[in-house]
Amino acid sequence: MDVARRGIAAAAVALGLVAIGVMPSAWADETDPPAAEDAGSVRVEAAAADAVSDESVRAVAAMSLRERAASVVMGHIPTTDTAALRDYMASTGIGGFILMGANIPASESALRDVTAALTIDPALPPLLAIDQEGGDVSRLPWDGFPSSLELKDAPPAAAQDAFAARAALVQRAGIGVNFGIVADETNDPGSFIYRRALGTTPDSAAERVAAAVAGEGSAAMSTLKHFPGHGAAPGDSHRGIPSTDMSKDQWAASDGVPFAAGIDADAPLLMFGHLAYTAVDAAPASLSAEWHRIAREELGFEGIAVTDDLGMLEASGDPRYGDPVANAVAALAAGNDVVLGVMFSDSRSATRIVDGIVSAVESGSLPAERLDEAAARVHEMRTSLAADGRGLMPCADCESAG
């Protein structure tokens, strides 16, 4: 059972108890909860994981085509203006938002105001995501926990502790998803990903990636990035499309090892990079059906596949990737469940992408079944976040209990 489904099952009990007015904390010192008859003759049971999944399928079937299309888009506008953010989410109807530096105010309490504004419906909160790796890529200035530069030379337990603490900060802010675990590995200090990688060998990276996923636990939905791995493909995907002719067998024995470890540790999201392993597929992995097949059929990944920022494809200068709407449709067709856009986007970009997805389904160039599959996975994670209470903002001045 994956992390998201475990969270749904566990939290369903808690939500049910709150709904009937029984406080779970009253059981803190008891081995077993009181019998049903002692709790007002009401029995609350967690839904089976399959039932939760089936419910998401039914919910998506009841959506309009436009609602389904909007639900798989993760957008961004650079502001902390809560009114503007709320209007953006309400007017676009999109299923996710990534918080970048321009969305982070000076204090944690002010950030909770931002995430509250982004949450139109607490019963179905959006996928709010952040790149909180620590160190070089850190959106939260109050995150002083060890980064990969220290963790790559420390025992795996240190990575688990650091990411447990980091996830707590993300959760306290009302953010459900952390794009924070770099599963790329390299021993080349000249590589742009070196400072951000958790290991310098496949095995050392794998140990720390798995530990980081365990550390984040249910506090934040962990994301492994940038599949299938930047280490073997020289160059920065923010400015081009790095490529390598490494064979698939070589990849599986090297750069693929940390990703396999993170998937085995139940990371619920996998971010596909804009990099090409040409012996496997000439296309960037983010647009490659073959790399999505490998992740799901060979590595056993069952969670949400998300693109790296699709604006990076435009930034590559390759004319094949100059149309952001076409890139989003191609990414969905390849197997991604969430399409993410930051670079070159504005307040109207998400709507244009939603329009493009709708048109692609209507024309038959994007199978409706592929969109439905993606929308159901996203819906399931959103309901999981609601069950965990992520749609409910924490107290204004939360303090640690211990």
Active site residues: 238, 308
Q: Which two structure tokens, joined as six digits, stand for 218?
A: 């249910």
Amino acid symbol at 221: M
Q: What share of the chain is helix, strand, coil (3-state, %, to 5)?
A: 45, 10, 40
Query: Which contacts of 122-125 are long-range, i.e. CB under 8 A and separated by 24 or more positions?
Result: 122/386, 122/391, 122/392, 123/386, 123/391, 124/379, 124/382, 124/383, 124/386, 124/391, 125/176, 125/382, 125/385, 125/386, 125/390, 125/391
DSSP string, 18-34: HHTT--GGGGTT-SSPP
Give the single-character DSSP code of 138: E
What is the C-alpha separation between 342 and 129, in angstroms, rounded?
12
| Angle, helix 108-118 to helix 82-92, in steps of 10 degrees | 30
Strand runs (DSSP E) across 183-268, as ranges?
Answer: 221-227, 243-244
Contact of 211 with 159, CB cutoff 8 Å: yes
- Alpha-carbon gap, residue 310 to 299, rounded angstroms: 24
Q: Which CA distances in Å does 39 have to 9, 13, 14, 44?
A: 20, 14, 14, 10
CA distances from 160 to 83, 148, 308 (A): 37, 12, 24
